[in-house]
Chain A
Amino acid sequence: MAQLSETYACVPATERGRGILIAGDARSDSIAYCNGRSVIIRRLDAPLEATIYGEHAYQVTVARFSPNGEWVASADVSGTVRIWGRHGDRALKNEFRVLSGRVDDLQWSPDGLRIVACGDGKGKSFVRAFMWDSGTNVGEFDGHSRRVLSCAFKPTRPFRIVTCGEDFLVNFYEGPPFKFKLSQREHSNFVNCARFSPDGSKFITVSSDKKGILYDGKTGEKIGELSTQDGHKGSIYAVSWSPDSKQVLTVSADKTAKVWDIIEDGCGKLRRTLASPGSGGVDDMLVSCLWQNDHLVTVSLGGTMTIFSASDPNKSPVSFSGHMKSITSLVCLLQSGQNVILSSSYDGIITRWIQGIGYAGKLVRKDSTQIKCFAAAEEEIITSGFDNKVWRVPVNGDQCGDSQPVDVGSQPMGLTVAAQTPELAIVSTDSGVVLLQGPKVVSQIKLGYAVTTSAISPDGNEVIVGGQDGKLHIYSVNGDTLTEEAVLEKHRGTITAICYSPDASLFTSADANREAVVWDRISREVKLKNMLYHTARINCLAWSPDSHLIATGSLDTSVIVYEVDKPASSRITIKGAHLGGVYGLAFIDQNSLVSAGEDACVRVWKLLPQ
């Protein structure tokens, strides 16, 4: 039996030039955001517990908790809104096709009966408000001619809806049934966000023209603006009110977040500026914010979430991050006595995680090129990207040292390091393999067949190369040449992964035809066969430290753990480990398995003995 013990969730997917939305539930102190096709709900006080909802068929854009905290409404780029239960098995309550294009913002009415959704209607309606259980329309929303970026529902009666969009307009509707009341054209650029204060007396709109304007909540008339002295120097992407309706938090592309005091007559004065800790590059542009209880949460373009304390301005902020794109490989390292997990995604981000703590920093590389293959040994990581170079970088904590790349002649398809002699590494390219010793190329060997993956034994004496035809070629290493010892034919598909056991007595190979086989290294006989329980290609393999358990991860989103001494049918299956497929697997210790996949999350599983 396997039990999920920790989830290192992904961060919200961000896009340059646009703000994103994160929602919160003050009662349970949780936040909800979206990445890809999943909605992630996390608790601010227990960041290692994250629940993920992956039922949308398209990319999710916004998710919001209902006022009573029981339901979540989430919307995606196809214009569909799904309302589902937050607890239990997340049963779907309703699904409506609301707009004909992407939904950009969604708000519940304070009584939880109505929902307003806005977005890109492709010429037809840009905004729709409907009853949450029947989907019937509760108003006509005309007045916008371009995409509507944000909408807000007045939290107190009489109900009003305000919408704002790319046509620089802020529209005010009265109802229900909602009808157009008036339109304001105070802004000179896209109006990015509109929010009512929790007491319903005012609302604020912020825009890419760097201004924030305040209006009366009941009539929609302008009452004031945020002072331009010390104002933002870049587009303001999001705004959030404090629970007492006296302050607002704004975040901007100028990489700062500002807290403003709102005085009764409607003007805003700057209270303080929060600078996010960061290197100051484009990735630090802030794209989203949320004020919940005492926490000020800001999200940057690079995916870093920073939490400031509202009451204590001098407390240093807590920041954590994760992956935004799908994780392509995962390695477990022992670094200064601690078990560190490194995960890398194709955009070149390598993140460190520590079991029990969670996020432990990103590896700051001197050269952040994209990463396709990734391997690690003591104190060193070896990466290769989409060009012909292989980098061997020394790692100290989360800082990387300098290194020179090695040119291997053609694009590397796979990369492995000999575990006991980390000097030796083998790189497989599409026509052959390259042996590396330290930072130098020892030899480049052209093999006559299409190579897909390779592995080098822990002692560096033997190399196995897998081909596209499903054959495994075993070579022994003599200095800089490879001598073919044997060819094993059992697989019925392209070989996708080969892995030696830590004690070097066994090795496993897996293919694209869902089968994995464990072989005895000395006799080259099959040790465990019929490992056929996956339903799609096997992507990765991992051995447990005592060489008794072998785990396979596949495109079919499940991870299966087999025991070498028992028949393959007695296996532990983890279904649905990662939406989209499992791409990385590693054992931390005998009972803990780490997996990473397309949903950009890393999960730690505890294996309980049966």
Chain B
Amino acid sequence: MAFLRSYSNASSGMGVADDCKHIFLELQRKKTHRYVVFKIDEKRKEVIVEKIGGATESYDDFMASLPENDCRYAIYDFDFVTEENCQKSKIFFIAWSPSVSRIRAKMLYAASKDQFRRELDGVHYELQATDPSEMDLEILRERAH
């Protein structure tokens, strides 16, 4: 007998807004965006899109759009060249949870992450960063192959 629900009970009951899924699909299929930053809106009890980065923006622009003291979820489309000289592109999901942010924010984002992640189908790598040195471009390069 197959179990339909996963065993993780750690969900905080946050919904996911519709445009999150649409924008993710645009990034994945049409490659119109470089990155998307998602935020939890506590009043409406759902995850919403906070910022979309154009295809020409750099990794530094992406890091600048993440707040220093608050948590976020983010998707980044990483382009690189492999050892066999092929151009590849991988999608990274980054759970940005800086150690200087409030405990409440960290707990909220951690509990809602699984539910949100399930909506984004097609992410290649997942990363959790608690300070800027943990989401350095070098780390993305090492993970992607």
> In the docked arrangement, what's the CA distance between A530 and B135, Å?
12
Q: Is the CB of A530 within 8 A of B60?
A: no
Q: Is the CB of B60 within 8 A of A569?
A: yes
List B contacts of A346 (CB < 8 A): none
Q: Is the CB of B131 within 8 A of A567?
A: no
User: Any chain A CB within 8 A of the CB of B127?
Assistant: no
Would you give the shortest CB distance from B11 to chain A, in whole angstroms?
31
Q: Is the CB of B131 within 8 A of A532?
A: yes
Would you give the shortest CB distance from B92 to chain A, in whole angstroms?
16
User: Any chain B CB within 8 A of the CB of A533?
Assistant: yes
User: Any chain A CB within 8 A of the CB of B6?
Assistant: no
User: Any chain B CB within 8 A of the CB of A2?
Assistant: no
Q: Is the CB of A569 within 8 A of B131?
A: no
Would you give the shortest CB distance from A17 to chain B, in whole angstroms?
49
Q: Is the CB of A532 within 8 A of B133?
A: yes
User: Any chain B CB within 8 A of the CB of A568?
Assistant: yes
Q: Is the CB of A530 within 8 A of B131?
A: yes
Which residues of B116-134 are within 8 A (CB) of A? 131-133
Using a Cβ–Cβ cut-off of 8 Å, how many residues does chain B contribute to the interface with A? 9
> In the docked arrangement, what's the CA distance between A568 and B64, Å?
12
Interface centre among B60, B100, B132, B133 (most CB of A within 10 A): B133
What residue in chain A is nearest B134 (Cβ atoms)?
Answer: A532
Q: Is the CB of B133 within 8 A of A533?
A: yes
User: Any chain A CB within 8 A of the CB of B63?
Assistant: yes
Would you give the shortest CB distance from B66 to chain A, in whole angstroms?
11
User: Any chain A CB within 8 A of the CB of B137?
Assistant: yes
Would you give the shortest CB distance from B35 to chain A, in whole angstroms?
16
Would you give the shortest CB distance from B88 to chain A, in whole angstroms?
22
Would you give the shortest CB distance from A62 to chain B, in whole angstroms?
39
List A contacts of B136 (CB < 8 A): 533, 569
Which residues of B68-120 are within 8 A (CB) of A? 99-100
What residue in chain B is nearest A513 (Cβ atoms)?
Answer: B99
What residue in chain A is nearest B135 (Cβ atoms)?
Answer: A569
0 or 1 for each of A505-538: is its CB under 8 Å from B? (1 = yes):
0000000000000000000000000101100000
List A contacts of B99 (CB < 8 A): 492
Would you give the shortest CB distance from A266 to chain B, in whole angstroms?
66
> In the docked arrangement, what's the CA distance between A533 and B60, Å?
16
> In the docked arrangement, what's the CA distance between A533 and B136, Å?
9
Would you give the shortest CB distance from A13 to chain B, in whole angstroms?
36
List B contacts of A530 (CB < 8 A): 131-133
List A contacts of B133 (CB < 8 A): 530, 532-533
Would you give the shortest CB distance from B19 to chain A, in whole angstroms?
31
Interface centre among B63, B99, B100, B136 (most CB of A within 10 A): B136
Would you give the shortest CB distance from B138 to chain A, in whole angstroms?
9
What residue in chain B is nearest A566 (Cβ atoms)?
Answer: B60
Would you give the shortest CB distance from A96 to chain B, in whole angstroms?
35
> In the docked arrangement, what's the CA distance between A492 and B132, Å?
15
> In the docked arrangement, what's the CA distance between A4 and B58, Å?
32
0 or 1 for each of A153-180: is its CB under 8 Å from B? (1 = yes):
0000000000000000000000000000
Interface centre among B131, B132, B137 (most CB of A within 10 A): B132
Would you give the shortest CB distance from A332 to chain B, in whole angstroms?
29
Would you give the shortest CB distance from A84 to chain B, in whole angstroms?
28
List B contacts of A569 (CB < 8 A): 60, 63, 132, 136-137
> In the docked arrangement, what's the CA distance between A365 and B99, Å?
49
> In the docked arrangement, what's the CA distance between A492 and B130, Å?
14
What residue in chain A is nearest B64 (Cβ atoms)?
Answer: A567
> In the docked arrangement, what's the CA distance between A277 and B60, Å?
60
Would you give the shortest CB distance from A471 to chain B, in whole angstroms?
16
> In the docked arrangement, what's the CA distance between A390 and B141, Å?
51
> In the docked arrangement, what's the CA distance between A1 and B99, Å?
31
Which residues of B42-78 are within 8 A (CB) of A? 60, 63
List B contacts of A492 (CB < 8 A): 99-100
> In the docked arrangement, what's the CA distance between A569 and B99, Å?
18
List B contacts of A567 (CB < 8 A): 60
List B contacts of A533 (CB < 8 A): 133, 136
Would you give the shortest CB distance from A514 to chain B, in whole angstroms?
9
> In the docked arrangement, what's the CA distance between A532 and B99, Å?
12
> In the docked arrangement, what's the CA distance between A533 and B139, Å?
12
What residue in chain B is nearest A535 (Cβ atoms)?
Answer: B133
0 or 1 for each of A27-56: is its CB under 8 Å from B? (1 = yes):
000000000000000000000000000000
List A contacts of B131 (CB < 8 A): 530, 532
Interface centre among A530, A532, A569 (most CB of B within 10 A): A569
List B contacts of A532 (CB < 8 A): 131-133
Which residues of A531-547 are within 8 A (CB) of B? 532-533
Would you give the shortest CB distance from A495 to chain B, in whole angstroms?
17
> In the docked arrangement, what's the CA distance between A567 and B132, Å?
11
> In the docked arrangement, what's the CA distance between A568 and B132, Å?
9
Would you give the shortest CB distance from A290 to chain B, in whole angstroms?
45
List A contacts of B137 (CB < 8 A): 569
> In the docked arrangement, what's the CA distance between A568 and B138, Å?
13
Which residues of A337-380 are within 8 A (CB) of B? none
> In the docked arrangement, what's the CA distance between A164 and B63, Å?
67
What residue in chain B is nearest A569 (Cβ atoms)?
Answer: B136
Which residues of A479-509 are within 8 A (CB) of B? 492
> Top 8 closest A-B pairs, CB basis?
A532-B133, A530-B132, A533-B133, A532-B131, A569-B136, A567-B60, A532-B132, A569-B137
List residues of chain B with CB under 8 Å of any chain A CB: 60, 63, 99-100, 131-133, 136-137
Q: A492-B100, A567-B60 are in contact. List 4 more A-B contacts (CB 8 A).
A: A532-B131, A533-B133, A568-B132, A569-B136
List residues of chain A with CB under 8 Å of any chain B CB: 492, 530, 532-533, 567-569
Q: List 11 A-B contacts (CB under 8 A).
A: A492-B100, A530-B133, A532-B133, A533-B133, A533-B136, A567-B60, A568-B132, A569-B63, A569-B132, A569-B136, A569-B137
